[in-house]
Amino acid sequence: MQDIPSSTLLVLVPLLPLVGAILTVALGRTLGSRAHVPAIVGIAASAAVAVTLLFGMVRQVAVGNSAAQQGQQVQPVEMVTTLWEWADIPNAQAAGGTTAASFLIPVALRLDPLTATLLVIITCVGLLVAIYSIGYMHGDPGYPRFFALFSMFVFSMTMLVAASNFLLVYVFWEAVGACSYLLIGFWFTKPEAAKAAKKAFLVNRVGDFGLAVATFLLWMTYGTLNFHDTVLSDGTAVPGILGVTRLADASGYVGGAVGSAICLLLLLAACGKSAQLPLHVWLPDAMEGPTPASALIHAATMVTAGIYLIARSGPLFVACPGALTLVSIVGATTALIAALIGTVQNDLKRVLAYSTISQLGYMFASLGTGTLLGFSAAIFHLVTHAFFKALLFLGAGSVMHSMGGVIDMRRFGGLRRVMPVTAVTFLVGSLALAGVAPFAGFFSKDEILASLHSRGWPDTHGEHQEAVPAGGHAMTAGSFRLVSVTPDASRLAGGDRGSRLDALNQPATWRLLFWMSLVTAGLTAFYTFRAVFMTFTGPTRVPEQAGHHAHGAAGSAAHESPPVMTIPLVILAVASAVSGWWLFSTHGLATFLAATPSFTAPSIASTATPPVFHWDLAIQGTLAAAAGIVVAALGHLGKRSDGPQMERFLGPLETLFANRFYFDQIYAGLIVKPLEFVATLAALIDRYLIDGTVDLVARLPLALGGLVRHLQSGLVQRYALAGVIGMLLIVLALVARAMG
Amino acid sequence: MIASVLPVISPGTLLAAAVTSTAASLWLLLPRGQTGAAERRSRWLGGLLGLAALGCFIATGHRLGGLGEETVFLIVSLVAVISGAATVVTRSPVYSAIWFAMALAGVAGVLLVLGAQFLGVATIVVYAGAILVMFLFVLMLAAPAGLAPYDRVSNEPLLSAVAGAVLLGILSLSIGRLTAEPPLCCRVPSKAVAITGDAAPAAGLPAVAAMSVDLLAENHVARLGGELFGRHLIAVEVAGVLLLVALVGSIAIVSRGASADGTVAPARRAVP
Amino acid sequence: MTPAPLVLDGLVVGAILFALGLVGILARRNLIVMFLCAELMLQGISVSLVSWSRHHGDWGGHVLVIFVLAVAACEAAVALVFVLQAFARTGRLDSAAWQSLRESNLPRTIDHELPAIDTMPLRFPKLAPAGVEPPVDQDALLEREHV
């Protein structure tokens, strides 16, 4: 392995799943029930390469950090491989049209701690889910298609996190969206699935629009789209948007109106992909797709693309504190609302879907703090969440598989006796999700709460305030100061009061957000254990649809899933149990991520805090989780899940939650119906006005032709006569001319 | 002679009358589906008009006075033209073919008078002897009994007759203009004038007439044969090949229509 | 210099024959008659060519007429074969039987109904049947006896 350069390995990570996808497409029909082989081999090899790269990167960071001990500055670690130039337009107008810049778009892959971490998560979780799918998708007529799409998704997602260019990011942002669309609509003959796929696609378009406009604005503002520093063919160096040169420059980032606009558009894009308010409506419906696809795409990886985008663009956001605060507000609000909706859902997969939205909201809230702690906590939670949410989804899939496709929790119960492995692993995942020590979610959620707490009560975390470099200036009232827009940059953007959003950046806001998050933690524990108790405790009941699996004893139709499905569950359960403690106790992840170029910007790196375990926050979080579990146990432990539920005590609020805060209805009334009206109007205009005009144009020659068509009698002698008459006319004309 | 008798009538008027009466006569004579007395009446009228038209053409300026050669020419050309007209207007195709034989005889006479003895005889032999017999053979093979409906009507008789007459008028007009100009053989080629830029006839150019031969001299056929197989040998060979190709092609097309056992495929009678 | 004698008259005769043939080609419906008329046009051409030949005093017109004869023979052979094929298909020698080239939505051109021909009963001469001995006319025998 030492002989192969890292750049080759980096290319292999997306390439192997792509080859797997192409082979599956080409040979799918031939392979039949073995169609999973190319995809799984490709993803497995890709995972092995990704792990190798991660270890190499860890070693490199360690070397860099030990060297940085003297300089007290974390050195950015990145490696960029340019495959080929996609576009190279010299002298394109950029930067407000004042200077000529070269529009250079290389197909460049990058490797840095953030990318390496995500590559490992994507490929490893992808591998486990793919193995699980062998059992879950067994016998489906679209078996090869599923693995082709799955492999294609892994390719697109790895490319998305490895791309070193906003345009490439956009391309693969769309590619993962397309794979998601195709997998949600996998059972396209089912009307709900087709509808859900369409909804996901359309809602994502809103976010994609944001990313597209953000890309345009970035090009106009910075004159490049590359993350890394590039050298043009004529020797001039162009500092990349997230390149080392610009990061080191204190005035490298534009704030004000333009900067805020860029950040808000990026936030819109992230909201679309990561299902945050107000674009969260597609994710619950996306559960119509196959459960493994939900586990990988709509829980573990694709929906975290928004987190990745914001984390990657961290320096841009930090220059616009208002936008950054909005990220947190959106995140915390989403987390709370999704958790509230989740408390009354009876569809097991939908509970998990709302839980996903809620946890993604957590990550957003953490990102919005703009501190190194916040960023690393978000990524930390992303990693642990990928493990335990994939586990929970796969467990739900296992239940669904065994129950013959039934997923309504009121129709089964007491399954711990029927499916012991699934029950235990699901419980582990639930503990992790609920944030019970020492499972993974506890540590990552604790860090998120800590990052929010540090913004709400900066005095208690005051140890990093002295690290604010002299170049920055205090932005807002209150005791907390954030390194922010430098005067130069804000003047470039057209005035330093460009963004009224900055007024949001108050400690009071952060305190509110912290309490919201804490409440959400309790709600999370409640709905998670509500699901656990409804599904696995109480009297054993199985729906009649489970009958088709009756190849065991006649009495017990339902059964535990095959090993090919349970083994990935066990592996993920182990990861969910230990990854949080391991990553937190060694501080490996935080230290590792700190070397990501985006996080070495002075504005972020200066907020570094020593790794501390916040006992007070841990106790608050644990209390919230315990409260949630206790309430859930009071309501559901050991009871029939189809009986009257304790949620009825919520009164009218239950109706509100069950109808998901009427988001779909509001959108239908505000957006869909007016659009339908306009479309109907346009269709009418098209049909009668435009088509009528076109038809008129077509009918005119037809009518004129009708006048002379009777000459075309088909009688050759008439044609000959006409020819002779024509000849005579010509001759007569000539004679008349000759005569004078 | 006639033109001098009728000095008051201008040649243009005569030509117009000739053209008009030709058209009217042909239209009257052509089958138009009429029967009985109407048909007989139009035939008479058309015949008289046709004779009048002929008279007009004779009178349009050519002296046909004197006896001898010119009288013979007049007679044979009248035979050719009247028979040709009858060929065109006769209802029955068989009669039409026989009138065509008569016209051929007239044409052969015209050719003889014009000094083409060989061609006159060849026309009789080739056309009357071979081609016409072939036509009649096909007619016997194919024509149904009695007068077919399509033999009793014409395609646009009026327009066709007018078109033919107008063509005839234009041709007569242009032929009549030849008398006003020196014959081609005595004119200096206009190209030479154009090249030299000299309006006067170039003295150095030999007159075309000097190269002309007297076609009516002795050994006419021998000299024609010499010309044909001398200067035009390759063309003669090509014509021979063409005849062969036509022979082979005809046989090929006919045998395609016949089935394997040699019988002609039964006709697919179309509903009229 | 005036043209050679009879040249102009020959040209006029040729033109008349040509025009008559043209009218026949355009007007007559019988395919065989149409070809007869085409031959008539060729005859007109031949007369004109010979007239010009006399006018110019060379053999060109004569030679051309000979080729016209050859080509006319070829044309007649091939054309008659086509006529026969056409007859085999439609059972008619009617040029109007072929109308496939017309506009697709135009009706077929059909001749208007013709009045019946007032046919006269055909009278054929009566011939003695061949192959059998004719009946003996006794009266004639008697006559002969008397002679």
- For residue A167, what are its two tokens? 């345009």
Q: Do B134 and B201 belong to one domain?
A: no
A501 vs A362, more confident: A362
Interface of A with B in 657-716 (CB under 8 A): 715
Task: Give the mean pLDDT of A21-28.
Answer: 89
Q: Is the ipTM of this complex over 0.95?
A: no
Question: For residue A645, is pLDDT > 50?
Answer: yes
Average pLDDT for residues A681-708, to the nearest whole number? 90
List all residues 6 or more positions away from A61 whose beta carbon is below 8 Å from its beta carbon. A77, A113, A591, A592, A595
Name the more confident of A259 and A437. Answer: A259
Is the predicted pLDDT of residue A138 greater than 80, yes or no?
yes
Tens digits of per-residue pLDDT, A460-481? Answer: 665 444 333 333 333 333 333 3
What is the pLDDT, as a whole number, of residue C42?
Answer: 93
Residue C108's closest chain A neighbor by CA?
A713
Tell me, what's the pLDDT at A475?
A: 37
Q: Which residue in chain A has the smallest CA separation from C100?
A: A714
Contact between B150 and C111 using a beta-carbon 8 Å cutoff: yes
**Distance in Å, alpha carbon of B112 to nearest chain C alpha carbon:** 10
Q: Is the pLDDT of residue A611 over 90?
A: no
User: Within 10 Å of residue A620's Cβ, how many Cβ atoms?
Assistant: 17
Average pLDDT, integer, range A204-223:
89
Point out which residues pair with A84 in neighbouring strands: A107
Contact residues on chain C for B123, CB-CB shorter than 8 A: 43, 46, 69
For chains B and C, count residue pairs whose Cβ atoms are closer than 8 Å: 316
Residue of A nearest to B164 (CA): A724
Residue of B247 and B270 predicted with greater confidence: B247
Tell me what pLDDT residue A454 has: 84
For residues A336 and A512, the answer to whether their CB atoms sit within 8 Å is: no
Could you tell me if B174 and B194 lie in one domain?
no
Bridge partners of residue B264, in order along the sequence: B258
Other chains touching C, judged by 3 or more CB pairs under 8 Å: A, B
Nearest CA of chain A to the CA of B156: how many Å?
Answer: 8
Q: How far is CA A272 from the centre of its chain?
A: 8
Tell whether the model's pLDDT for residue A643 goes beyond 80: no
Contact state of B134 with C37 under an 8 Å Cβ cutoff: no
CATH of the domain at B65: 1.20.120.1200
Q: At A343, which amino acid appears? A: T
Pair (B42, B135) in one structural domain: yes
| pLDDT over 90 (residue B239) | yes
User: Does B165 lie in the same domain as B204?
Assistant: no
Residues B140 and B259 occupy one common structural domain? no
Is B179 part of the contact surface with chain A (CB cutoff 8 Å)?
no
Q: Which residues of B touch C27 (CB under 8 A)?
A: 30, 88, 154-157, 160-161
Q: Pick the residue with more confidence: C121 or A702?
A: A702
Considering only CB atoms, which chain C residues are within 8 Å of B227?
59, 62-63
Within this chain, do residues B199 and B266 fall inside the same structural domain, yes or no?
A: yes
pLDDT in tens, B64-79: 444 567 778 888 999 9
Burial of B119-151, coded b for 16+ CB within 10 Å and e otherwise, reads: bbebbbebbbeebbeebbebbeebbeeebbebb
Look at A721 and B173 and tell me if their CB atoms are within 8 Å.
no
Cβ neighbours around A190 below 10 Å, total: 12
pLDDT tops 70 at residue B216: no
Does the structure show a pLDDT above 60 at B197?
no
CA dihedral A185, A190, A193, A195 (to 10 degrees): 110
* Dist. CA C95–CA C97, nearest whole Å: 5
Partner residue opposite A728 with nearest CB, options B156, B167, B173 = B167
Least confident of A12-21, A329-338, A361-370, C105-114: C105-114
Contact C109 A714 (CB under 8 A): yes
Last residue of a domain, one of B181, B199, B224: B181
pTM confidence score: 0.62
Q: Which two tokens stand for residue C140?
A: 């004639």
Q: Which helix (H) or strand (E) holds A311?
A: helix A305-312
Among B154, B181, B208, which residue terminates a domain? B181
For the ranges A391-395, A611-615, B250-254, the lowest mean pLDDT is seen at: A611-615
Read off the pLDDT band of A231 (50, 70, 90). confident
State the pLDDT confidence band at B270, using cuts at 50, 70 and 90: very low
| pLDDT digit string, tens, across residues A534-577 | 888 888 887 777 665 444 443 455 677 888 888 888 988 988 88
Claim to verify: residue B45 and residue B135 sit in the same structural domain: yes
More confident residue, B102 or A480: B102
Min Cα distance C29 → chain A (Å) is: 8
A721 contacts in chain C (CB < 8 Å): 26
Please judge whether B115 and C39 are an interchain contact, meaning their C-beta atoms are less than 8 angstroms apart: no
Domain shared by B227 and B146, yes or no: no
Cα A482 from Cα A480, distance rounded (Å): 7
Kindly state whether residues B29 and B121 are assigned to the same domain: yes
Give chain C's count of helices (H) and strands (E). 4, 0
pLDDT band at B235 (very low <50, low <70, confident <90, very high): very high
Residue A624 token pair: 């919230």
CB within 8 Å: C40 and B134: no
pLDDT at B104: 92
The two tokens of residue B258 are: 């016949």
User: Residue B242's pLDDT is what?
Assistant: 94
Split at pLDDT 50, 70, 90, the class of A486 is very low
Q: Which residues of B198-213 are buried (b: 16+ CB within 10 A; e: fewer)?
A: eeeeeeeeeebeeeee
C99: contact with A, CB 8 A cutoff: yes
| C-alpha span between B94 and A724 (Å, rounded) | 27
Say whether residue A733 is in contact with chain B using an 8 A CB cutoff: no
Count the Cβ atoms, other than its own, within 10 Å of residue A515.
14
Task: Tell whether A720 lies on the interface with B, counting CB pairs under 8 A.
Answer: no
For B149-183, how does the pLDDT look when each residue is reduced to its tens digit (9 = 90+)? 888 888 888 999 999 999 998 888 888 777 655 54
Consecutive 10-residue averages of pLDDT for chain C (147 residues): 68 93 92 91 93 84 91 89 85 85 82 71 73 74 57
The kind and range of the H/E element at A2 are: none
Same domain, B169 and B83: yes
pLDDT at A58 over 90: no
Instruction: Sort residue B154 into left (φ over 0), alpha (ψ -120 to 50) or beta.
Output: beta
Q: State residue B164's pLDDT score.
A: 93
A733 in reach of chain C (CB within 8 A):
no
Domain count for chain B, please give it.
2
Q: How far is C101 from chain A (nearest CA, A)?
A: 4
By the CB < 8 Å criterion, does A714 face chain C?
Answer: yes
Question: What are the helix (H) ranges across A32-136?
Answer: 36-71, 113-136
End-to-end CA distance of chain A: 101
Mean pLDDT of A149-167: 92
pLDDT at site B221: 84
Residue B187 has pLDDT above 70, yes or no: no
Residues 30-49 of B with CB under 8 A from C: 30, 33, 35-36
CB neighbour list of residue B43: distance below 8 Å, 6 or more residues apart? B28, B29
- In this structure, the answer to whether residues B45 and B150 fall within a common structural domain is yes
Does A615 score more than 60 pLDDT? yes
Query: What would the pLDDT profile of B250-267 be if each residue is shown by its tens digit?
Result: 998 888 765 444 445 444
- The shortest CB-CB distance from B232 to any of C63, C85, C115 is to C63
Q: Which residues in chain A are closer than 8 Å to B15, comparing Cβ atoms?
A: none
Q: Which residues pair with B54 in a beta bridge?
A: none
User: Which of A702, A707, A711, A716 to mutate to test binding with chain C, by most C CBs within 10 Å of its CB?
Assistant: A716
B195 and B129 in one domain?
Answer: no
Spatial CB neighbours of A476, under 8 Å, sequence gap ≥ 6:
A321, A482, A502, A503, A505, A506
What's chain B's Rg over C-alpha atoms?
Answer: 24
How many beta carbons lie within 10 A of that of residue C21, not counting itself?
26
DSSP lists the bridge partners of residue A163 as: A109
Cβ of residue C86 closer than 8 Å to a chain B Cβ:
no
Cβ of B250 and C77 within 8 Å?
yes
Q: Using DSSP, state whether A282 is helix, strand or coil.
A: helix
Last residue of a domain, one of B181, B201, B224: B181
Identify the pLDDT of residue A99.
Answer: 54
Neighbors of chain A by Cβ distance (3+ pairs < 8 Å): B, C
Nearest to A616 by CA among A435, A459, A460: A460
- Contact A508/B at CB under 8 A: no
Of B30, B85, B134, the CB nearest to C27: B30
Give me the domains of chain C, ranges plus CATH numbers.
Answer: 7-92 (1.10.287.3510)
C26: nearest CB among A712, A714, A720: A720
Residue B189 has pLDDT above 50, yes or no: no
* Spatial distance between the Cα atoms of C1 and A224, rounded to a whole number of angstroms: 95
- 3-state DSSP helix/strand/coil percent for chain B, to nearest 5? 70, 0, 30
* The dihedral sign for the CA sequence A429, A435, A436, A438: positive
| pLDDT average, residue stretch B98-105 | 91
**Mean pLDDT, chain A, as a whole number?**
82
Domain range enclosing B105: 2-181
